[in-house]
């Protein structure tokens, strides 16, 4: 018959508590982030950068990343707009970060990532590449310009 050392019991208890906290955090995060970027089937038409206006406050942006720029690099929309971003890359892996909006995506060749963002407040929202991609990495930026009045 083996008896357990008190310190062993203590460690098992702590491990169990940490594990429970870990599982709880995952479930909690899952409940809160149901707007995670989605992967879509690849289609070459996504390589053509464009902004499509569906109505006054609904837009689609086909964003293309390449060394070392984003296209389109300026997106003008009115406040209150909801934007679907479809993101791909022409070469290697780039980042697509809109810090003010908690957008954190990867631009991957042969792949399209999608997320939807609502821009309630006017302002300039910087899009930056946050995945090191070579000498021009730090200059890889674009912006979303959100204006007060509706764009006509």
Binding site for ligand CUA (CB under 6 A): 68, 94-95, 129, 131-133, 137, 140
Name the minimum Å distance from CB 137 to ligand CUA: 4
Q: Which is nearer to ligand CUA, 66 or 115 (CB)?
A: 66
Q: Please, what is the minimum distance in Å from the beta carbon of residue 65 to ligand CUA?
A: 6
**Which pair of structure tokens corresponds to residue 75?**
């997106």
Q: Which is nearer to ligand CUA, 46 or 59 (CB)?
A: 46
Nearest approach, Cβ of residue 28 and ligand CUA (Å):
31
Q: Which is nearer to ligand CUA, 42 or 132 (CB)?
A: 132
Nearest to 94 by CA among 57, 132, 121: 132
How many residues in the chain? 152
Q: Which is nearer to ligand CUA, 57 or 141 (CB)?
A: 141
Closer to ligand CUA by Cβ: residue 50 or 90:
90
- 3-class SS string, the chain: CCCCCHHHHHHHHHHHHHHHHHHHHHHHHHHHCCCCCEEECCCHHHHCCEEEEEECCEEEEEEEEECCEEECCEEEEECCEEEEEEEEECCCCEEEEEHHHCEEEEECECCEEEEEEEECCCEEEEEECCCCCCCCHHHCEEEEEEECCCCC
Least distance between ligand CUA and beta carbon 133 (Å):
3
State the minimum distance, in angstroms, from the CB of residue 112 to ligand CUA: 17
């Amino acid at each position: 018959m083996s008896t357990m050392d008190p310190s062993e019991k203590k460690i098992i208890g702590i491990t169990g508590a940490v594990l429970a906290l870990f599982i709880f955090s995952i479930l909690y995060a899952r409940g809160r982030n149901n707007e995670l970027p989605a992967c879509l089937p690849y289609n070459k038409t996504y390589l053509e950068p464009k902004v499509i206006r569906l109505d006054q406050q609904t837009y689609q942006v086909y964003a293309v990343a390449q060394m070392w720029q984003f296209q389109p690099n300026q997106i003008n929309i009115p406040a209150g707009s909801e934007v679907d971003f479809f993101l791909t890359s022409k070469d290697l892996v780039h980042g697509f970060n809109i810090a003010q909006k908690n957008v954190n995506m990867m631009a991957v060749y042969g792949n399209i990532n999608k997320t939807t963002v609502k821009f309630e407040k006017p302002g300039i929202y910087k899009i930056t590449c946050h995945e090191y991609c070579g000498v021009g990495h730090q200059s890889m930026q674009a912006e979303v310009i959100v204006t007060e009045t509706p764009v006509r």
